Structure 1
Amino acid sequence: MNETEHANTHRDNRPRESRQMPVPPGLAGMRVDAGVAKLLGLSRTAVAELAVAGDISIDGRTVGKSDRLEEDAWLSVLLPPVETSLVPKEELIEGMEVLYHDSDLVAVHKPVGVAAHPSVGWEGPTVVGGLAAAGFRISTSGPPERQGIVQRLDVGTSGVMVVACSERGYSVLKRAFKNRDVSKTYHALVQGHPDPSTGTIDAPIGRHPSAGWRFAVRQDGKHAVTHYETLEAFAQASLVKVTLETGRTHQIRVHFSALNHPCCGDPMYGSDPALSKRLGLTRQWLHAVSLGFHHPADGRWMEIECPYPDDLSHALDVLRKG
């Protein structure tokens, strides 16, 4: 049975979408609020409210927020209403460090659990809201909820992210990302040992045929190329350096999962829950370590680096100690 998406309506006539899919193995046993939040990128509070309203069912049975997910059970979720406008909530964000800033741009270390900008169903912190609360002026270019945004990182991925502060910064950086005139380097901890230890994954990516909320290597997908190099090998996992030629959604996670080497801590794409628990991971081990681009004002090449956060460093320490 394939995932279905259809417009529904809330009592105030705002459109709503329904998502239906099997529960992936990595989320089996999790509470409904925690598992669905991880699965669909919603806040746990938003999912809890959906459960209270009777908008979540498993195998046709309405469930509460504290019920448990069962592997391969059929999950149905009626998403929150689509908002007509999304305004970033201004709030200081713990752990969001400013790595560089000037009148054209600001580069930050985006922590895990923070979205780039507001979106439907996301009630958590955002980079643009955090910068506004910290007193940074952001470019007014782009849709209202995405002003200044020239790139994005997934909520569950940490690392360096740049936001435009001026109109010049927005137009130049937006064009650079579109034309792939930037250098994006990630580190990922993947299960097992990729063979060869250094190589290129050239495989098209599209929406998964039975779960449109995630992606997969598909013959009819969009062109996607990932280069990798093993930096350190452990008994159960490998730390790899990754550079991207393309920027497809979940590209690194999908490509390594297709090789049977999913990112550690990534149940959506097949990670081992026992290893994740041993490493203390509650999210995928994936970090944007550096970002290179030509400065919008004078064209000089800039390379901004971002250290590992504590949870990712801890996982490596566990592996190094054997």
Structure 2
Amino acid sequence: MERLEYEITEELTGSRIDKALATLQPDWSRTQIQQWVKEEHIKVNNSVVKQNYKVKTDDQVTVEQPAMEEYDVEAENLNLEIVYEDQDVLVVNKPVGMVVHPSAGHVSGTLVNGLMYQVTDLSGINGIMRPGIVHRIDKDTSGLLMVAKNDKAHVSLVNQLVAKSVNRVYTALVHGHIPHDNGTIDAPIGRDKRDRQRMAVVDEGKNAVTHFKVLERFGAYTLVECRLETGRTHQIRVHMKYIGYPLVGDPKYGQRKTIDFGGQVLHAGTIGFDHPTTDEYMEFTAPLPENFQQLLNELRS
């Protein structure tokens, strides 16, 4: 049994307990949370609540998470590129092909394995499988992630994500010629009813907003900058497909005929947030990976 504690912020006030916790912990399904409420594994202000309880600002939520199958997470020297680090946070540039945290089928070679080798302290809120991890990017997406080194920093960074104040900017190559220079995609995202392994734009999905700007056009392809207002699973990949411009190389949401890139051509190049202790705004950038830049050079020529 693992004990996790959360403080409800103003942005979550009025949400049902299951929705609020699913926002704070995207790995948990609302169905699972509802079951934990029913089994009294979840308390608010030290009291048992019903499944329809709506959270209030400053509510203290305690989750006694039932034991799940765990793996021995070993520290591995993966030569991670840490672009910034202090006593509270670090920013790491994740390479293409690396899973963020261990799970069934991925018990080694993950970002967490590498962090455990290179970093002395990591927050413990997410348990032994995801120490320090406050958000993720897909295995085949490269780029920047912020990591918490203690629980206070972890809570601060999660609250900033919930408040939509973290600046996350991606570069993507998509199929098609986008005629307009910029736009906003405001469409809810949830599980695809026909394939539970995929996400899709669905009426009952969670609010999702992506802002995009055209950087360069290559005839049949367009290079775009995408800024996330929300952080839903596969958000950019789903949204760009939804408006008819799927990501190049995307094996899950892309076209059958595409450039063989080994995965979607997507890079998390900029991240900005307020430091958990000093409140100073900090922003970091990472250049495009070599194979991404090489592909662009080939399209230009």
**Structure 1 residue 184 displacement after superposition:** 0.6
Aligned with 1:238 (options 200, 203, 222): 222
2:121 alignment partner AA: R
Q: 2:265 aligns to what?
A: 285
Q: 1:276 aligns to what?
A: 259
Aligned with 1:295 (options 255, 275, 278): 275
Structure-1 separation of matches of 2:226 and 2:99: 22
Structure-2 separation of matches of 1:185 and 1:217: 21
- Distance 1:241-1:223 versus aligned 2 partners, 3 A rule: same
Question: Matched residues, percent identical?
Answer: 40
- Distance 1:141-1:206 versus aligned 2 partners, 3 A rule: closer
Structure-2 separation of matches of 1:124 and 1:313: 29
Structure-1 separation of matches of 2:254 and 2:133: 31
Structure-2 separation of matches of 1:313 and 1:254: 23
**TM-score under structure 1 normalisation?**
0.69
**TM-score under structure 2 normalisation?**
0.74
The count of aligned residue pairs is: 235
> Would the aligned equivalents of 1:89 and 1:125 in 2 still touch at CA under 8 Å?
no
> What does the per-residue CA deviation read over 1:4-48, in whole Å, with 9 as the maximum and x for residues that have no partner?
xxxxxxxxxxxxxxxxxxxxxxxxxxxxxxxxxxxxxxxxxxxxx
**Structure 1 residue 124 displacement after superposition:** 4.2
Question: Does 2:104 align with 1:104?
Answer: no
> Would the aligned equivalents of 1:117 and 1:146 in 2 still touch at CA under 8 Å?
yes
Structure-2 separation of matches of 1:209 and 1:149: 29
Question: Does 2:161 align with 1:181?
Answer: no
**Structure 1 residue 293 displacement after superposition:** 0.3
1:91 alignment partner AA: E
> Would the aligned equivalents of 2:174 and 2:245 in 1 still touch at CA under 8 Å?
yes
Q: 2:59 aligns to what?
A: none
Structure-2 separation of matches of 1:143 and 1:135: 16
> Would the aligned equivalents of 2:73 and 2:107 in 1 still touch at CA under 8 Å?
no
Aligned with 2:198 (options 207, 214, 230): 214
**Structure 1 residue 270 displacement after superposition:** 2.4
> Would the aligned equivalents of 1:199 and 1:227 in 2 still touch at CA under 8 Å?
yes
Aligned with 1:227 (options 211, 227, 232): 211
Structure-2 separation of matches of 1:144 and 1:86: 9
Q: 1:125 aligns to what?
A: 109
Aligned with 1:306 (options 283, 286, 294): 286
> Would the aligned equivalents of 1:109 and 1:306 in 2 still touch at CA under 8 Å?
yes
Structure-1 separation of matches of 2:120 and 2:291: 28
Structure-2 separation of matches of 1:194 and 1:117: 35
Structure-2 separation of matches of 1:87 and 1:306: 32
> Would the aligned equivalents of 1:291 and 1:305 in 2 still touch at CA under 8 Å?
yes
**Structure 1 residue 207 displacement after superposition:** 1.2
Structure-2 separation of matches of 1:176 and 1:221: 22
Q: 2:33 aligns to what?
A: none
1:217 alignment partner AA: V
Equivalent residue runs for 1:67-86 within 5 Å: 84-86=69-71
**Structure 1 residue 176 displacement after superposition:** 1.2
Q: 2:234 aligns to what?
A: 250
> What does the per-residue CA deviation read over 1:139-190, in whole Å, with 9 as the maximum and x for residues that have no partner?
2232221121111111111100111112221121121112222111111111
Q: 2:118 aligns to what?
A: 134
Structure-1 separation of matches of 2:236 and 2:281: 25
The answer for unaligned runs of 5 or more in structure 2 is: 1-66
Aligned with 2:142 (options 146, 150, 158): 158
Structure-2 separation of matches of 1:222 and 1:196: 27
Structure-1 separation of matches of 2:192 and 2:210: 19
Q: 1:319 aligns to what?
A: 299
Q: 1:192 aligns to what?
A: 176
**Root-mean-square deviation (Å):** 1.7
Structure-2 separation of matches of 1:124 and 1:195: 44
2:259 alignment partner AA: S
- Distance 1:129-1:295 versus aligned 2 partners, 3 A rule: same
**Structure 1 residue 220 displacement after superposition:** 2.1
Q: 1:114 aligns to what?
A: 98
> What does the per-residue CA deviation read over 1:217-272, in whole Å, with 9 as the maximum and x for residues that have no partner?
11222211110000111122111011111111101000111122110010211234
Structure-1 separation of matches of 2:248 and 2:102: 27
1:203 alignment partner AA: A
The answer for unaligned runs of 5 or more in structure 1 is: 1-81
